[in-house]
Amino acid sequence: MKRVLLLHTGGTLGMVGTPLEPDAFQDRLLEVVPEVPKVADVDIHIVCNLDSSDVGPPEWTAMAKTIGERHDDYDGFVVVHGTDTMAYSAAALSFALEGLGKPVVFTGAQRPLGAIRTDARRNLVDAVEVATCSVPEVGICFDGLLLRGCRSVKNDARSYRAFASPGVEPLATLGTDVNLRAHIRPPTTAFTCIPKFEPHVDVVYVTPGLRPKTVARRLEDPELRGVVVAAFGMGTVPTQRRALAPVLADAVERGVDVLVVTQWGGTVDLTLYKNSLELRAGGCIPGGTMHVEAAVPKLMHALARYADPAERRAYLLRDVAGERQ
């Protein structure tokens, strides 16, 4: 039987009460979902027990470290996680676990394990099953789909179909059979675990009328190392009244890395409009098709991994796990 390590981090799946809060669910897991041990030989490791709005770089480091250290002992890994920030954590692990040759499958639920009509049982069994398959990627397994972790977004808090990966077909569909799709990426490098993230990264969400002064004040934080800019369209920002591009160029000048993504869920092209060219001229880095959910952990990882700005830029421009395609 295949061996799977299940990392528990928290989330609705294991919560109880009103309001919902984390419970010691892990003790009852195999009792409540007796199908799990029939699918794989599962060990459980508790990383933390949090609502995922409290999960961030320290927990990403702990998850990645555990998988790095136990990598050779298991055929695959399942991470039970709250849905709210699951896409960020899945992306973070895609970067920290480069050259992954085994599945790392995130899952969770919209209703707790103990609730009537819960989606937790199915998601958990599906995730464990996927963790025994040949899927060398970090994925999110939810409502019968396996999605690429670094391209996923949570787009519904009420429906059981909580996640989507816009522009990327599911890596697998789970119906009567598990259908693996041909675009699953084989590893292109040897496996390395680099569980590091620089937490001093901010996000600027561009809106009409945004005051450059307000942004400039935020970017003056002496601890700040990086900024993800969620720009309009193909990567445009105001350059006339309330011009934002000079404020971002100033930040680059002071050594802050500025990574530009788009709010619309497509790709950034900083060469198309004059209102993007100023960003390019100011040294901002185009983020390709990354969503904020992937851009934030990738920038945090790049800053922790490379001291040299040119190496960081090259890494951010490189497609590591399918996040830029």
Site residues (vs ligand ASP, CB under 6 A): 10-12, 51-53, 82-84, 108, 110
Radius of gyration of the chain measured on its C-alpha atoms: 20
DSSP state of 235: T
- 321 contacts 94 by C-beta, under 8 angstroms: yes
* Smallest distance, ligand ASP to C-beta of residue 92, A: 15
Whether 12 sits among the annotated catalytic residues: the reply is: yes
Nearest to 6 by CA among 42, 50, 57: 42
Comparing CB distances to ligand ASP, the nearer of 94 and 110 is 110
Residue 11, phi-psi category: left (phi > 0), alpha (psi -120 to 50), beta (remainder): left
Q: Biggest alpha carbon distance in the chain? A: 64
**Which entry of 12, 118, 236, 289 is annotated as an active-site residue?**
12
Cα(235)–Cα(23) distance, integer angstroms? 43
> What is the smallest separation between the CB atom of 324 and ligand ASP, expressed in angstroms?
26
**Residue 120 or 321 having the CB closest to ligand ASP:** 120
Rounded Cα distance, 127 and 79, in Å: 9
Which lies closer to ligand ASP via its Cβ, residue 268 or residue 296? 296
Q: Which residue is nearest to ligand ASP (CB)?
A: 82
Nearest distance in Å: CB 51, ligand ASP: 4
Q: Which is nearer to ligand ASP, 82 or 139 (CB)?
A: 82
Nearest approach, Cβ of 292 to ligand ASP (angstroms)?
17
Q: Is 262 helix (H, G, I), strand (E, B) or coil?
A: strand
Is the distance from CB of 178 to CB of 125 less than 8 angstroms? Answer: no
- The residues annotated as belonging to the active site are 12
